[in-house]
Amino acid sequence: MNNYKKDFTILRNNPELTYLDSTASSLTPDSVVEKINEYYKNYRANIARGVYKTSEQATEEYEKTRQKVANFINAAEKEIVFTSGTTMSLNMIAYGLSNLVGENNNIVTTAMEHHANFIPWQQLAKNKEAEFRVTNIDKQGRLDLNDLKNKVDKNTKILTFTYVSNVLGTINPVKEIIQEVKKINPEIITVVDAAQASPHLKLDVKNLDCDFLAFSGHKMLGPTGVGVLYGKIEKLKLLKPIFTGGEMISEVTCQASTFAELPHRLEAGTPNIAGAIAFKESLKYLKKVGFENIQKHEQKLVKYTFEKMKNEFGDDVKIFGPEKVEEHSGSISFTFKKYHPHDIAAILDQEKNVCIRVGMHCAMPLHREFLNVHATARLSVYLYNDKNDIDKFIEGLKRIEEILG
C-alpha cells in the first residue's frame, strides 16, 4: 500500500498525530478540500435556480456528483437523493414510509445497530402500535441468522440492518439476508445502513437487491454534512416527503401543492452545495486506491493489532467482534480488566497523541443489553494508517500500565 498520508495536510503538518478514529469520521485529502475551495472561490451561487452561468456551473458540478455516486453504487441517477448524512437518510426513510405501517405489522432490526438505524424505527413502531423486533447476535458479535429468520414473518413491513457494525466490526452477509427474508415475505421492504460499509467495501445495490441504502460522505474521505439516500425508484415513490419547501415542488397554489419528480421532491431547500460538489473528489480518490487494496490493507492492520494486543496484554484485554480477520472490518472495540475505557482514551491522547473513540459509540442497546458493558474503547483503521500507528497505540497502552499500575 502506498503512503497515503502525504495526501492529507493534517497528517503532513502533524507528524506526531496518530489518527485511529476513522469510524467516527475519516480525514479528508487535499483534493477534496481544494474542490470545496474551488466552489467558494469560483462559482459560488445557489443551484437549480439561477439562469446565469455561475449558477449553472454550480448546478452542473452538483449533478455530476449525483452521476458519480450512482456509478459508484451501480444505481440510476434519479435513485440518488442527497441528504446531510446517514442519520438524515434513515430518518427520511422511516418517516417517509410511516403511512405503510399499521398495528398488525412488525419492524425487524438487529442488536448491533447504531442509534441512527434504531431510534427512527423504534419511534415509528411505537407511533403505529406496531411490534419492534430486535435480532440477537452470537458470542463473537455476528448476527444470529436463524433468529433473524424467525423474527421475520408475513407481517414484517420493514427489515432494517447495518452492513458493517461500527462497534463489533462485523460484516453482515447483506445479499444472503435479503434473499432469505424475501423467501419468507416477498413484500418486505429492506433498508441497509451502509455508513460503515461505504468507506471500505465496493457497494453494488443491484447485486445486493436492497430497497433502500444510506451512507455518509464524511466517513469516506468526503466533507461533513453530505450523505446519500439510495432507493429503488418504485420504492422511493413510496416515501412521503418529510421536508417541504423550495425546489421540491411542481405547482403551488393557495389551495394545494404538487411535488417535483424524483429525486428533487426529496431535496427541499438549499443543500450542502460545496459538500456535494467536493464529495465526488473523495469517490475519485477511493476509486483510484481501489476497494480491494483498501480491504487487504485494513485486514493486515486488523490482524497486526489483534496479534499485538494479545501478545502484549493477554487475557487482560477483551476484544469484541469476530475473531476471523476476514469477518472483521477496521473497527476494533476492546476493554481492559483493570482500566476504565475513558482513562485509556485520555492517556493515549495525552501521552502519545493517539486519537481513539470511547463510550457506547451510539449503540447503547448493544453495549448494555447484549455485551453487558457500560463502555468500550475503539480504535479504527483506514487507508492512511500503517503499522507504525498501531505500534504507537500499543506503546500508549503500555504507558497506561506504567501510569495506572
Ligand X SMILES: Cc1ncc(COP(=O)(O)O)c(C=O)c1O
Distance CA 214, CA 191 (A): 8
Q: How far apart are CA 328 and CA 168, in angstroms?
A: 8
Report which residue type is found at 122. Answer: Q
| Measured distance CA(332)–CA(168) in Å, rounded | 7
Q: What is the DSSP letter of 7?
A: G
Greatest Cα-to-Cα distance within the chain, rounded to the nearest angstrom? 72
By three-state DSSP, how is residue 12 classified? helix
Q: How far is the CB of 111 from ligand X (least distance, A)?
A: 13
Q: Among residues 156 and 165, whose Cβ is nearest to ligand X?
A: 165
Q: How far is the CB of 207 from ligand X (least distance, A)?
A: 20
Cβ atoms of 230 and 211 within 8 Å: the answer is no
Q: Which residues bind ligand X (CB under 6 A)?
A: 85-87, 114, 116-117, 162, 166, 193, 195-196, 216
Taking the C-alpha atoms of residue 375 and residue 373, their distance in angstroms, rounded to an integer, is: 6
**Structural element, H or E, at residue 390:** helix 387-404
Catalytic residue check, 210: no
Residue 396 CA to residue 389 CA, distance in Å, equals 11
- C-alpha distance from residue 50 to each of 41, 63, 246 (Å): 18, 15, 13
All three cell numbers of 238, joined, read 413510496
Judged by beta carbon, residue 86 or residue 295, the one nearer ligand X is: 86
C-beta neighbour count of 385 within 10 angstroms: 26
**Residue 171 C-beta: closest distance to ligand X, Å:** 12
| Contact assessment for residue 321 and residue 167, using Cβ atoms and an 8 Å cutoff | yes
d(CA 234, CA 253): 27
Q: What whole-number distance in Å separates Cα of residue 385 and Cα of residue 18? A: 8
d(CA 298, CA 288): 16
Active-site residues: which are they?
362
